[in-house]
Structure 1
Amino acid sequence: MTYSNTTDFTNPSTFVLLGIPGLEAAHVWISIPFCAMYVIALLGNFTILFIVKTEPSLHEPMYYFLCMLAVTDLVLITSTLPKMLAIFWFNSREIDFSACLAQLFFIHCFASIESGILAAMALDRYVAICHPLRHSAILTNTLVAKISLVVVLRSCMESLPYPLLVRQWSYCRTNLISQPYCEHIAVVKLACGDTRVSNYYGLFALFGVAGLDVIFIAISYMQIVRAIFRLPTREARLKTFLTCGSHISVIIIFYIPTLFSSLIYRFGKNFPLHVHVLISNMYLLLPPILNPIIYGVKTKQIRGRLLGLMTQK
């Protein structure tokens, strides 16, 4: 099927996702690692959920937040990757306008939830290292539930304007999206008229919400580093710092591709399109794949439980 670059519609009933422009001939080959990523993400995150559920010693705030992270990653990757594979395998490029808005909402909402969970996990690490004797008294199950509820509600409220703003614009140029999924700024670029409100809101959400999470995480780790340097021996400092290693790795994997992708969309006019699309995919695909691997390898309790299950089998 061929798609023209222009249409005569006022508002489209469908959008057309182009996959990875410039690499259409390689879509089948690209689908192989993408499919493998999806399988790894499903197995890894469901394994984390199963281990935490079946191991009573892991029923602690850090692992509750880790379960939230696993569920968030599952929703995030499932909202995008099946449609990508349909494009790569069956050339199923069309997506209903309402389905596009729903996908757009889920991507931004659960990316925001992930950011909030990472901030909550930084709080848990701060309390565990700076106030170890009061950890269970401060981070009670009730407080963990309240933090989780606030993170979810904040993310839903922050993400709801995205589809509402996209719906109000007129689309009179093209319905071709140079992506394998519906992303806010990619859809807004197809609209006619003045769409600065959407652009400004996208920047506000990026720096005002995710930016606040990053600042909170940075402050938490500044306090953690100060507490680590007060420890009497080098071995104690190294051991304490390594307890934060998995969380720091997950933070880097999530925030750097997210920031890079958002800034390229707005300011990288001369950046190769297929490279930009691949980088944009990474901020949605890498965290769901690598988070369970990182926590499975670096967290002693999870690693021990997983080895125990494998030994029993």
Structure 2
Amino acid sequence: MFQDPRGTNSSKFQVSEFILLGFPGIHSWQHWLSLPLALLYFLALLTNICVIIVIHQEASLHQPMYYFLAILAVVDMGLATTIMPKILAIFWFNAKSISLPECFAQMYVIQCFVTMESGIFVCMAIDRYVAICQPLRYPSIVTESFVVKATVFMTLRNCVATISVPVLASQRNYCSKNQIEHCLCSNLAVTSLSCDDRRINSINQLALAWVVMGTDLGLTLFSYALILRSVLKLNSAEAASKALGTCTSHLILIFFFYTVIVVLSITHLAGMKIPLIPVLLNVLHNVIPPAMNPVVYALKNKELKQGLHKMLSLNFKGN
């Protein structure tokens, strides 16, 4: 479990692996949670794959809004797959060990996907703002080129912004404890095991959450505020209802996504004495949005619902 990188005469040791214990305080029966978590994971994979297939097959859905939705589906599947196989392995096969490089890699990928999802919400908000508030300019502003450029920018931004998290974590000295009270390699859970000062890790994590994702949230809310103002000025009740219906699904998902992040930040700053709550929220935050995003969009979006119905009808007829 431990290795001495400096030789036998050194008093400093570096752990060679971490042990993910799962949910703190409920280790004896936490394996029962594997069933709902597995169902959420498979629901996330199934529904997001369906969304991608429908958008690809239906020519009427070859529009920027649905391209962003397809990108969100890819991000959601990536986020869920980054954590769920390991969590299920912990519960089903007691595979609790994870090497330091694997742990830091998982930490980085989680950070990238979470911030990427935040960035896609901004892009979708801007898309809806232009479509509703400046409809005549929409075809010339929100083009396929815009979708590609926005996606590339968000990907590069998030990959660069989040690299500091695993780099700083890997520079800590893990010389004694290696058991993590978590189901995944959370930055703050891992660095809490270090033997040296970890304040820079906490400051960096909070700065990343509030600056990068706080900026995304501000831009998203500002866009929807402008949309709401424009909708209230519409003389047609039908047009206003259609515009609000399009945005409602976005706002439901955005509300859950950012609320959990805010709660996790507050519990960390407050030093909550019940670690199960933030750990459970952290896991659910990485699996519930991927499972629920396509479901909410399918229920609230008429065109997507029709595409899904058409695809399922063709499959049933083919069988």
Q: Which of 181, 184, 196 matches 2:199?
A: 196
- The equivalent of 1:49 in structure 2 is 52
RMSD over equivalenced CA pairs, Å? 1.3
Pairing partner for 2:226 from 220, 223, 232: 223
Q: Which moved more, 1:131-140 or 1:115-124?
A: 131-140
Q: Tell me, what secondary structure is at the counterpart of 2:14?
A: coil
Q: Which residue of 2 aligns with 1:181?
A: 184
TM-score, scaled to structure 2: 0.93
* Structure 1, 140-149 or 186-195: larger mean CA deviation: 186-195
Residue-by-residue CA offset, 1:88-131 (whole Å, 9 max, x unaligned): 11111000100000000011011000000000000000001001
Identity %: 38
Structure 1 unaligned residues grouped into runs of 5+: 1-7
Contact 1:16 1:175 in 2 (8 A): yes
1:214, distance to aligned residue in structure 2 (A): 0.6
Q: 2:294 aligns with which of 287, 292, 295?
A: 292
Q: CA deviation at 1:236?
A: 2.8
Whole-Å separation in 2 of the counterparts to 1:98 and 1:112? 21
Unaligned 5+ runs, structure 2: 1-10
Show the counterpart of 1:205. 208
Look up the SS of the partner of 1:92 in the other structure: coil
Matches within 5 A, 1:1-313: 10-270=13-273, 272-312=274-314, 313=316
SS of 1:100 mapped into structure 2: helix
- CA distance in 1 between partners of 2:12 and 2:270 (Å): 29
Cα distance in 2 for partners of 1:201, 1:34 equals 30
Give distance in 1, aligned partners of 2:89 and 2:30.
10
SS of match in other structure, 2:313: helix
Could you tell me the TM-score, scaled by structure 1's length?
0.94
Q: How big is each residue's C-alpha offset from its partner over 1:150-199, in whole Å with a ceiling of 9 and x where there is no partner?
A: 00000000111111101111112311111000011111111122222111
Q: Which residue identity does 1:154 align to in structure 2?
A: R
Q: CA deviation at 1:11?
A: 2.0
Distance 1:202 1:186 in 2: 12
Contact 1:18-1:93 within 8 A present in 2 as well: yes
Aligned-partner residue type, residue 299 of structure 2: V
Measured in 2, the distance between the counterparts of 1:57 and 1:235 equals 22
**Number of corresponding residues:** 305
Deviations 1:45-87 (A, max 9, x none): 1011101111111111111111110111111000101100011
Task: Tell me if the contact between 2:51 and 2:308 (Cα under 8 Å) persists in the aligned partners.
Answer: no
1:260 deviates by: 1.1
Paired residues of 1:119 and 1:214 also in contact (CA < 8 A): yes
